[in-house]
């Protein structure tokens, strides 16, 4: 068995579920939970997002069959926008992580994310912190402008997902940000340092742009929840 969390689940035929899990040793995996919808199933109420699980599966095909699942502690209780934030991260992981590729460092960050959301810590900086961990796992972290470069840089910089920060404006497919704000964001501890409203706004724009190539053209459904 190994630690895991449910990212999402779907009905499958009359009595079963398809379950996307985020696991410690295998990363994202899709499993068939046979009979999970039956009233007598021991998995009833267990195969839900935000519950720490131990799981086991088997089978030779690409779609593995869940053979064991048990909750190892209580679920992280998320409410309102904190719940929507959890759904957003789950959908993001579903979209960008390949199946059966272990990302243990990111998995260790996931309960920290859920705990911060359960404790009602600031949502925006919590999400940006986790997105940065995800970019690191994807090999796509970028360099922030440094304070010692300040006098050498123009007042306005342009961020692109494929090249990071640049002094040149080539096209509209970029995020325009002031030099000083980019330097400040690069020096900040996003979880512990207070960010201004402008800094939070621009950090969100930069991270969204950085993740866009991995997300693709189809919008994330969870983002619409914040607009309700």
How many other C-beta atoms lie within 10 A of the C-beta of residue 10? 10
Q: What is the pLDDT of residue 227?
A: 62
Number of C-beta neighbours around residue 88 at 10 A: 21
As a whole number, mean pLDDT of residues 169-197 equals 92
pLDDT of residue 16: 94
Q: Give the per-residue pLDDT at 226.
A: 67
Sketch the domain layout of the chain as residue ranges: 2-71, 80-138, 147-215
Q: What percent of the chain has pLDDT over 70?
A: 99
Kindly report the backbone phi and psi dihedral angles of residue 31, in degrees, each rounded to the nearest multiple of 5, phi listed first. Answer: -125, 150
Q: To 5 degrees, how large is the angle CA 190–CA 123–CA 165?
A: 45
| Per-residue model confidence (pLDDT) at position 61 | 80
**Per-residue DSSP letter, 151:** G
Q: What is the mean pLDDT of the chain?
A: 93
Residue 225, pLDDT > 80, answer no
What percent of the chain stands above pLDDT 90? 85
pTM above 0.85? yes
What's residue 211's pLDDT? 96
Per-residue pLDDT of 25-81, as tens digits, reads 999 999 999 999 998 898 888 999 999 999 999 988 888 999 999 999 989 999 999
State residue 78's pLDDT score. 96
pLDDT category, 228, cuts 50, 70, 90? low
Q: Are 117 and 30 in contact (CB under 8 A)?
A: no
- pLDDT at residue 163 greater than cutoff 80: yes
pLDDT for position 59:
86
- The predicted-structure confidence for 117-158, as pLDDT tens digits, reads as follows 999 999 999 999 999 999 999 999 999 999 999 999 999 999
Regarding the domain delimited by 2-71, which CATH topology (the fold level of the hierarchy) does it fall under?
OB fold (Dihydrolipoamide Acetyltransferase, E2P) (2.40.50)
User: Per-residue pLDDT tens for 135-146?
Assistant: 999 999 999 999
DSSP state of 97: S
In the chain, where does DSSP find H-type helix?
80-96, 104-118, 123-137, 179-187, 197-215
Candidate from 105-114, 170-179, 209-218 with smallest mean pLDDT: 170-179
pLDDT given at position 169: 85
pLDDT of residue 170: 78
Q: Residue range 93-116: average pLDDT?
A: 97
């Amino acid at each position: 068995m190994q630690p895991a969390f449910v990212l999402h689940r779907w009905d499958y035929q009359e009595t079963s579920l398809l379950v996307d899990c985020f696991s410690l040793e295998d990363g994202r995996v899709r499993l068939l939970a046979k009979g999970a919808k039956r009233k007598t199933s021991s998995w009833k109420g267990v195969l839900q997002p935000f519950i720490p699980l131990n799981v086991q599966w088997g089978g030779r095909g690409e779609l593995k069959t869940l053979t064991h699942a048990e909750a190892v502690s209580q679920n992280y209780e998320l409410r309102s926008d904190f719940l929507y934030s959890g759904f957003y991260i789950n959908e993001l992981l579903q979209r960008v992580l390949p199946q059966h590729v272990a990302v243990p460092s990111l998995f260790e960050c996931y309960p920290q994310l859920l705990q911060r959301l359960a404790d009602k810590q600031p949502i925006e900086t919590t999400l940006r912190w986790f997105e940065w961990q995800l970019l690191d796992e994807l090999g796509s972290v970028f360099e922030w402008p440094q304070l010692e470069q300040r006098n050498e840089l123009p007042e306005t910089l342009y961020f692109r997902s494929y090249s990071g920060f640049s002094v040149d404006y080539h096209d509209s497919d970029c995020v325009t940000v002031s030099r000083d704000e980019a330097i400040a964001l690069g020096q900040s501890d996003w979880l512990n340092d207070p960010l201004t409203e402008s800094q939070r706004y621009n950090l969100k724009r930069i991270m969204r742009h950085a993740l866009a190539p991995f997300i693709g053209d189809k919008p994330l459904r969870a983002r619409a929840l914040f607009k309700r």
